[in-house]
C-alpha cells in the first residue's frame, strides 16, 4: 500500500514535538497532528519555578556566608542581620513573564519545546486538528477531511488531571498542574495544600516552601507509592527537614470554602489554606481517536504496549505520559528513540520499562 509518510505523530505534548524533530533529522517523511490550543508553557513554567526555588534557597543560605539582603533587591546591607534573609516573596506575575520569555527563547533555539514554525521549516507537515483512525475505505488517520497514511503511527497524547471524588470539591476553586501557571495572583499563597503524590506535585511542595509558603502535602498512601519504600521515605524526610508538612495515609472526606480560604477535612483533622493544588493521578481521554476501530487497547490509566512500546496494532506505537508512568520529558525523549527508529530503520534501541521514573 502506498503511504504518504514514514511516521505520523499524534501529539499535544513536548514529547510529541521532540519525536517529530528527531524523526525528520533522519530524513523521514513526518506529519505531526496536534489539537488546537496546545502550549508548552506548562512544562516551561514548571521548570522555571524549580530553578527560581533553588535560587531562593541559595539566597536564604547566604547569611551563613556573610551576605545579607536588604530591603531593596540586590542591595547588600550586612547590618540588617540574618533574619532579613527570610523575607523573600515571589512576584507571581513577574515569574509568569520570565517563564514566557524562556519559552520563547527555547522555541527560537529549537530546544525542548520545538516551535511549530521550526518544525515546519525542517520539513515536518504540521496539522492542527483532531485525528480519528479509520479502516474503510482505506486504513489511516482522518484529520480535517484528509486521510494520512503512514508506515507507522506514534501516540504521544497529553493526560488530564483526575479530580478525586471528594464531597464539596466540585464547588470550589482549585489549581491543577496544568492550570497553575495561569493563576492571576500577584504573589504566591501564604498557605498551600497539595493533594496527591504526582512527582511534579512533590517538586512543587519543595519549591513553594522555598518561596516562603507554608506547604502541606497530602498523600492517600505514601510518597511515590510505585517506587521503592526506602527512596520514598528519604524524599519525605528531606521535605520535612526543609519545612514541608507531609501527611500520608490520608483520607480526604470533605472540602469547603471558608471565606477566602479553603478547608479540607483530612482523617479527623481540619486543614485550612489560601489555595489547593491537585497533583493527583492523571487520566487519558482518547475516545475521539477511535482506537477501537484499529484494535488498539487502552483505558483511562494507560495505553497498552509491549516492551518495544508497540501497541496492540503492529504499526502503532506509544510513548510519554500516556503509558501510565510519569509526565517526565527526559524519560519521554528516551522512549521516543525506540518507536521512531523501529518502523523504518530496523535497529531499535533497547527500551526502558514504560513506568520507569
- Residue 20: CA count within 13 A, CB half-sphere: 35
DSSP state for residue 262 in the 8-state scheme: E
Residue 202 has pLDDT above 80, yes or no: yes
Nearest-angstrom CA–CA distance, 326 and 83? 39
Give yes or no for a contact between 199 and 50, defined as CB atoms under 8 angstroms apart: no
Q: Which domains does the chain have, with CATH numbers?
A: 5-40+112-159+284-345 (3.50.50.60), 42-100 (no CATH), 163-281 (3.50.50.60)
pLDDT confidence bin for 120, thresholds 50/70/90: very high
Strands (E), the chain: 5-10, 30-34, 125-128, 132-134, 140-143, 146-148, 150-155, 160-161, 175-176, 191-195, 214-218, 245-247, 252-258, 261-266, 269-273, 275-278, 282-283, 298-299, 302-303, 316-318
Give yes or no for a contact between 131 and 291, defined as CB atoms under 8 angstroms apart: no
Cis previous bond, 8, omega within 30 = no
Give pLDDT, residue 344.
46
For the beta carbon of residue 266, count every other beta carbon within 10 angstroms.
18
Nearest-angstrom CA–CA distance, 230 and 251? 23
Work out the average pLDDT over 48-62.
79
DSSP letters, 157-186, are: PPPEEPPP--BTGGGS--EETTTGGG---S
Give pLDDT, residue 107.
64
Residue 131 has pLDDT above 70, yes or no: yes
Backbone dihedral angles phi then psi of residue 44, each to the nearest 5 degrees: -65, -45
Write out the three cell numbers for 55.
535560587
- Give the range with max mean pLDDT: 73-82, 90-99, 204-213: 204-213
pLDDT confidence bin for 79, thresholds 50/70/90: very low
Residue 357 has pLDDT above 50, yes or no: no
pLDDT confidence bin for 109, thresholds 50/70/90: low
Which residues, 6 or more positions from 238, have their beta carbon under 8 angstroms from its beta carbon?
none
pLDDT confidence bin for 85, thresholds 50/70/90: very low
Distance, C-alpha 148 to centroid of its chain: 29
pLDDT confidence bin for 348, thresholds 50/70/90: very low
Which pTM does this prediction carry?
0.83
Residue 14, burial from CB neighbour count under 10 angstroms (0-12, 13-18, 19+): buried
Choose between 62 and 316: higher pLDDT.
316
Work out the average pLDDT over 298-309.
93
Coil, helix or strand at residue 351: coil
pLDDT confidence bin for 43, thresholds 50/70/90: confident
For the beta carbon of residue 294, count every other beta carbon within 10 angstroms.
19
Give yes or no for a contact between 155 and 10, defined as CB atoms under 8 angstroms apart: yes
Write out the three cell numbers for 191.
498557605
Give pLDDT, residue 84.
38
Summarised one tens digit per residue, pLDDT across range 211-250 is: 889 999 999 999 999 899 999 999 999 999 999 999 999 9
Mean pLDDT of all residues belonging to the chain: 84
In the structure, how many helices (H) and strands (E) does the chain have?
Answer: 7, 20
Work out the average pLDDT over 301-312.
92
Nearest-angstrom CA–CA distance, 292 and 297? 7
Residue 29 has pLDDT above 90, yes or no: yes
Give pLDDT, residue 44.
76
DSSP state for residue 309 in the 8-state scheme: S
Summarised one tens digit per residue, pLDDT across range 148-175 is: 999 999 999 999 888 999 999 998 999 9
Give pLDDT, residue 80.
38
The least confident of 185-194, 232-241, 265-274 is 185-194
- Residue 339: CA count within 13 A, CB half-sphere: 35
Nearest-angstrom CA–CA distance, 354 and 357? 9
Give pLDDT, residue 288.
94
Amino acid at each position: 500500500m502506498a503511504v504518504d509518510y514514514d511516521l505520523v505523530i499524534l501529539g499535544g505534548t513536548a514529547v510529541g514535538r521532540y519525536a517529530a524533530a528527531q524523526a525528520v533529522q533522519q530524513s523521514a517523511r513526518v506529519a505531526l497532528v496536534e489539537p488546537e490550543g496546545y502550549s508548552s508553557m506548562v512544562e516551561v513554567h514548571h521548570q522555571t519555578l524549580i530553578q527560581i526555588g533553588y535560587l531562593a534557597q541559595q539566597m536564604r543560605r547566604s547569611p551563613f556566608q556573610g551576605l545579607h539582603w536588604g530591603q531593596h533587591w540586590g542591595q547588600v546591607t550586612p547590618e540588617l542581620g540574618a533574619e532579613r534573609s527570610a523575607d523573600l516573596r515571589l512576584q507571581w506575575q513577574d515569574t509568569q513573564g520570565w517563564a514566557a520569555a524562556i519559552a520563547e527563547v527555547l522555541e527560537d533555539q529549537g530546544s525542548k519545546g520545538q516551535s511549530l514554525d521550526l518544525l515546519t521549516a525542517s520539513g515536518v507537515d504540521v496539522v492542527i486538528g483532531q485525528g480519528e483512525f479509520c479502516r474503510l475505505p482505506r486504513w489511516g488517520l482522518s484529520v480535517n477531511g484528509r486521510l494520512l497514511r503512514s508506515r507507522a503511527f506514534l501516540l504521544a497524547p497529553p493526560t488530564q488531571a483526575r479530580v478525586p471524588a471528594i464531597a464539596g470539591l466540585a464547588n470550589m476553586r482549585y489549581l491543577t498542574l496544568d492550570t497553575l501557571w495561569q493563576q492571576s495572583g500577584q504573589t504566591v499563597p501564604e498557605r498551600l495544600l497539595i493533594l496527591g503524590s504526582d512527582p511534579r506535585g512533590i517538586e512543587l511542595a519543595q519549591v513553594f516552601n522555598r518561596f516562603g509558603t507554608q506547604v502541606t502535602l497530602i498523600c492517600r498512601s505514601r510518597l511515590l507509592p510505585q517506587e521503592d519504600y526506602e527512596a520514598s521515605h528519604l524524599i519525605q524526610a528531606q521535605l520535612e527537614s526543609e519545612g514541608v508538612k507531609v501527611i500520608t495515609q490520608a483520607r480526604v472526606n470533605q472540602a469547603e470554602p471558608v471565606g477566602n480560604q479553603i478547608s479540607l477535612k483530612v482523617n479527623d483533622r481540619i486543614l485550612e489554606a489560601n489555595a489547593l493544588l491537585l497533583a493527583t493521578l492523571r487520566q487519558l481521554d482518547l475516545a475521539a481517536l477511535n482506537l477501537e476501530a484499529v484494535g488498539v487497547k487502552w483505558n483511562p490509566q494507560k495505553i497498552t504496549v509491549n516492551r518495544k512500546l508497540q501497541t496492540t496494532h503492529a504499526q502503532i506505537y506509544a510513548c510519554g505520559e500516556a503509558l501510565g508512568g510519569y509526565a517526565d520529558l527526559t524519560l519521554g525523549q528516551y522512549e521516543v528513540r525506540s518507536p521512531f527508529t523501529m518502523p523504518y530503520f530496523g535497529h531499535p534501541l533497547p527500551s526502558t520499562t514504560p513506568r520507569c521514573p
